[in-house]
Each structure stands twice: as structure tokens, then as C-alpha cells.
Amino acid sequence: MLGFLDFHRETLAWKCSGLGAEQLGVSVGVSSMTLGGMLKHLAYVEDAWVSQRVYGRERQAPWNGVDWAADPDWDWHSAAEDSPEELRVLWEESVARSRVVMAEALAEGGLEQVARWSWADGRSPSLRWILVHLIEEYARHNGHADLIRESLDGMTGE
């Protein structure tokens, strides 16, 4: 599962490689999704699902300064205010933190251990569920990234 997750992470990195601010801000059709927004959203997903939910850790910057109730899509649209380098570094650092936390968690209790975070009904996902969710999240957004990148310069594929 970690191999599939890394494959999808690498696919997103490839889809966003070599692009400037204008290109990272392009959307396709009626969608407001951009590659820059995707980088920031997936940086948030990495931190939220791994650092925050596996161990119940507090949100880190920039996520801890956001009023998510007032703006649940902040990660997507605020990316337009960030430089391509800031977006890439934010995402790369989130991925690096996730790798460390996931290695710790796997060493401690394996895939069936339960996260310290729980849904409102009291259920908590297993580490396996979280990994599958991350793979699904990347796979879905890599499909979006493929369409956007193709519209920019014709590049397609994994």
C-alpha cells in the first residue's frame, strides 16, 4: 500500500513539474480546480489524515490558522496566493512528515491499529483504512491533474 501511495504522490509531482504560477492556476471547463490548489489540498490531506488523525496531534501551520467552518475550501482557493515554490515545499514537507509518522505507526502496531482520532459516532479508522483513503484521494485527483496538464501542454500519462 505504501508503494501505491508513493506512486500516486510521484504522479502528482510529475503533473505539477516545470509549471509556473500562471499554469498552476489554470482550471478546465466549469471546474475551479487547479494544480496549485491540488498541491495545497493534498498537503492538507497528508497532514490531516496522518499527523493529526493517526496520533491525534494538533494542526500545524498553516492549517491551524484557518477558520475551516467559515471557509471549508480554503486549501483549494488560497493556493492562488502562494508561489509555485511555496506550494511545492508545503506539499513535499507534508509528504515527508506523513512518511515519518506512518513508519512510526506501522512499527508500533501495524495496519490494523486504530487511529487516536474518531468520527462523531465514536468509531475510529484503522491505519489500513487511512492508507487506502490516501491512495483513493491521490488517484482521484491525479485524474483531475491529468486533464488540467493535458490542457496546458498536451502531456498525458502517469
**Is 157 a residue whose pLDDT tops 80?**
no
The set of cell numbers assigned to 117 is: 482520532
Q: Which amino acid is at 118?
A: S
**What residues form DSSP beta bridges with 125?**
none
> Confidence class of residue 89 from pLDDT cuts 50, 70 and 90?
very high
The pLDDT value given to residue 14: 94
What's the chain's average pLDDT?
94
**C-beta separation of 72 from 65 below 8 A:** no
pLDDT at 124: 95
Residue 143 reports pLDDT greater than 90: yes
Tell which residue, 98, 65, 68, 62, has the closest CA to residue 82. Answer: 62
pLDDT single digits (tens) 27-57: 998 899 999 999 999 999 999 999 899 988 8
pLDDT of residue 67: 95
Summarize the confidence of residues 56-79 as an average pLDDT: 94
Residue 4 pLDDT grade (very low, low, confident, very high; cuts 50, 70, 90): very high
155 or 4, greater pLDDT: 4
Task: Please give the C-alpha separations between residue 28 and each of 25, 85, 118, in angstroms, as whole numbers.
Answer: 10, 22, 36
